[in-house]
Amino acid sequence: MDCDEIDILTDIYGDVINHIEYIKTSRKRMMNIKNSIQFFDNNYFEIICNDELLKRYLNMFDNVKEFNELICHLHRLKDSVKDKIKDKCEHHWVNDTIDINPDSSKNISYCVKCEITKK
């Protein structure tokens, strides 16, 4: 396997982005599950399936402050890794056009390796 620092940093960056999205969607799914349990027409999850691990699992995203801190921490890590990628990158600039809206476009220059744009 032949890779350098930028390859590894890029892999970390992509994984952190995926992790952020996974945690956000997990929280939404968990809220939907808890909502379904709340409106379920029997007490299976309260009495019959009274499992401590299941309860902890279902409540792991209840603390909004901790959830937000985790997401903020991961965004800071993502930004830090992106800065490291930019610092190490031997930029390969390309010119491109992006659509601003259906009637207008804008010319931009960006690095195909680290995806930063020239100002």
Query: How does pLDDT run across 12-51, given as a tens digit for each residue?
Result: 999 999 999 999 999 999 999 988 888 888 878 777 777 8
| Residues 118 and 74 both lie in one domain | no
The burial class, CB within 10 Å (0-12 / 13-18 / 19+), for 106 is exposed
pLDDT in tens, 42-95: 878 777 777 888 888 888 888 889 999 999 999 999 999 988 988 888 888 999
Number of domains in the chain: 2
Q: Which structure tokens are listed for 12?
A: 């970390």
| Residues 84 and 100 both lie in one domain | no
| Residues 37 and 73 both lie in one domain | yes
Domain that holds residue 26: 5-88
Entry pTM = 0.67
| Residues 12 and 60 both lie in one domain | yes
C-beta of residue 103 within 8 angstroms of C-beta of residue 24: no
| Residues 75 and 111 both lie in one domain | no
| Residues 43 and 59 both lie in one domain | yes
Rounded Cα gap, residues 95 and 107, in angstroms:
7
| Residues 36 and 64 both lie in one domain | yes
| Residues 37 and 75 both lie in one domain | yes
| Residues 81 and 113 both lie in one domain | no
Say what the pLDDT of residue 1 is: 65
C-beta of residue 58 within 8 angstroms of C-beta of residue 30: yes
Q: Which structure tokens are listed for 71?
A: 């997401």
Per the model's pLDDT, the better-predicted residue between 29 and 5 turns out to be 29
Say what the pLDDT of residue 15 is: 95
